[in-house]
Amino acid sequence: MTHPSHPAAGLIRPVRQSSLCVGLLLLLGALMLASLNFGYVDIDQSDLIRAAFGLSDPSTNMIVQQLRMPRMLLAVMVGMSLGASGAVLQGLLHNPLAEPGTLGITGAASLGAVIAIYFGFAATTPLSLPLFAMTSAGIATLLLLFVARDNGRTLTLILLGVGISGVSVALTSLAMNLSPNPWAVSEIAMWLLGSVRDRTFQEVNLAAPFILIGLIMLMACAPSLDILSLGEDSARSLGLRVGRLRILAIGGTSLAVGAGVAVSGSVGFVGLMMPHLIRPLVGHIPSRLILPSAIGGGALVLAADIVVRLIAVGPELQLGVLTSLIGTPFFIYLVISLRKRMA
C-alpha cells in the first residue's frame, strides 16, 4: 500500500471545488491590490486602480504600470506555474514530495538560463533565455520520468532530483567561476536567489505565452491523474493513454517552470506546499487539485513578495530566499510524517 497519509486526512471535510476556487481567487485579487499598493511612494487606493488602467497622472501611471504591475503579474504567473506543476508531478509520480524544486527541474531550468546569460545569447536574443531554461527543464523532467518508469519509489526520485540539482549547481558554479566579469557573477548570483523585483513588461511578455500554454497543458492532465491513482496497469485498462499524459505533463511543466525561472530565478517549495495545503480540501482527488493549487501558488508567491517588501532588513530579502526559509522546514516536516512509508 503506497499512499501519503496526509496529516490532516479524515479531519478536514472536502469543500466544493468551485467555492474553493472562488475563495482563492478573492484572496489572490486582494493580494494583487495589496501588491500594487506597496512601494516607496504612497498612492491612494482609488488612484491606484485608475493608474492601473492609465487614467491617473503620468507619474502615478508610470509607477503603477511600469514598476508595480510587472512585479505583481510575474509573482502571480510564477506562483501559478509552480503550484500547478507541483500538483501534476505529485499525481503523475504518486509522490507526495514531488515538485519542480525537489526533483531538480527548477535547478536545471536555472542552469539553462545561466548558460544563455553566460554565452551572451540572452543579451542578443532575449527569447533565448526562456528557451534555454525550458529546454533544460524538459531534459531534467524526461530523465526523471525515464527513471520513474522502472522505479518510481519516493526515495529514488528525490535522490535523482538531488543529483540533477547537484549537476546544475556544479555547472552554474563553473560558469560563475570562469566568468571574466565580476559584475556578471554577482548578477547571476542575485538572479539565482529568485526575485520579481525591478522587472518590466518585457519580462512579462517574454514568459506569459509559455506559462499560459504550460498551464493549459497541466490542466489538461486533470482527468487522467485520477485514473492513475489506481496504478498504471489499471489506469491503462480503463483506457488511459499514458504516453499522451506524460507528454502533457512533461511539456506543461517544462514550459511553465522553465519560462517562470527564466524571468524570476528559482523560487522554491511553492509547488510542494500548495498542493499539500489544498489536498484535504478537495478530498485528495488529484484532478481537483491542479486549478486551486495554481491559484493558491499565485497567491502564495505574491504574499511572499509583499512580505519581502515589508521586512526592512537593509537590502531587500530575495523572494526565493523567503520561500525556501518557509519551504524547507515544511519539506522536513513532510519527510518526517511520511518516513514510515519511505523505506
Partner 1 sequence: MTCLTLTNVHVPIGSRTVLRDISFRASGGEFIGLVGPNGAGKSTLAKALASLLPTSSGSININGQCLTQFSPKDSAKNIAYLAQGDIVHWPLSARSIVALGRRPHIDAFGSPSRADQAAVDRAMQRAFVGEFTDRDVTQLSGGERARVLLARALAVEAPIFIADEPVGALDPRHGLNIMALLREEANRGVLVITVIHDLALATRYCDRLIALRDGELADDGPPHQVLSPRGMAAHYAVEGHHAAHDGQAFVLPWRPL
What residues line the site for partner 1 (CB under 8 A)?
Answer: 1-6, 9-10, 94, 222-223, 226-231, 233-234, 236-241, 283-286
Task: Give the residue with the Cβ less far from partner 1, 117 or 240.
Answer: 240
Contact 29, 302 (CB under 8 A): no
Distance separating alpha carbons of residues 182 and 162, to the nearest angstrom? 28
Residue 228 C-beta: closest distance to partner 1, Å:
8
Distance separating alpha carbons of residues 51 and 35, to the nearest angstrom? 14
Residue 91 C-beta: closest distance to partner 1, Å:
8
- How many Cβ atoms sit within 10 Å of the Cβ of residue 200? 14
Concatenated DSSP letters of 34-93 = HHHH-SSS---HHHHHHHHTT-S-HHHHHIIIIIIHHHHHHHHHHHHHHHHHHHHHHHHH
Q: In Å, how far are 27, 83, 340 from 343, measured between CA atoms?
A: 39, 27, 6
Q: Residue 301 belongs to what H/E stretch?
A: helix 290-310
Residue 105 C-beta: closest distance to partner 1, Å:
21
Task: Give the residue with the Cβ less far from partner 1, 9 or 34.
Answer: 9
Task: Give the residue with the Cβ less far from partner 1, 6 or 309.
Answer: 6
Residue 3 C-beta: closest distance to partner 1, Å:
5
Task: Give the residue with the Cβ less far from partner 1, 187 or 232.
Answer: 232
Residue 143 C-beta: closest distance to partner 1, Å:
21
What single DSSP character describes residue 314?
S
Torsion of CA 116, 119, 124, 128, to 10 degrees: -20
Q: In Å, how far are 58, 76, 196, 198, 330 from 123, measured between CA atoms?
A: 30, 26, 19, 17, 37
Task: Give the residue with the Cβ less far from partner 1, 134 or 240.
Answer: 240
Task: Give the residue with the Cβ less far from partner 1, 153 or 197.
Answer: 153
Residue 218 C-beta: closest distance to partner 1, Å:
14
